[in-house]
A = this chain, B = another copy of it.
């Protein structure tokens, strides 16, 4: 059974928190990678071209999720992550487009 980890409602997504979450080179790269896909992507470290440890990657996924930028799906020991593109766009139109351009 797949569940989602806690995340802010769309209307609770905060601009400063989003900017802080995006203001990190690894997280920005993760968001860019997610933006290329329409489906959730595995969270596992071997799927990303980043030179960080697995716990550090988990930390970045948490920051992105708690900022409202991503949804994390969990099924047993497997996690996937998806960009909340429409939610972020409805809250801050043009922001993700500008950052991902």
A22 within 8 A of B: yes
The contact size tier of chain A is 10 to 19
CB-CB under 8 A from A25, the residues of chain B are 16
Within 8 A of B (CB), among A10-62: 15-17, 19-25, 28
Give me the 7 closest cross-chain CB pairs, A-B, nearest first: A19-B23, A20-B23, A94-B98, A95-B98, A23-B23, A19-B22, A94-B94
What is A's interface to B at a CB cutoff of 8 Å?
15-17, 19-25, 28, 92-95, 97-99, 101
8 A–B pairs (Cβ distance < 8 Å), ordered by A: A16-B24, A19-B23, A19-B99, A20-B20, A23-B23, A93-B101, A94-B94, A95-B98
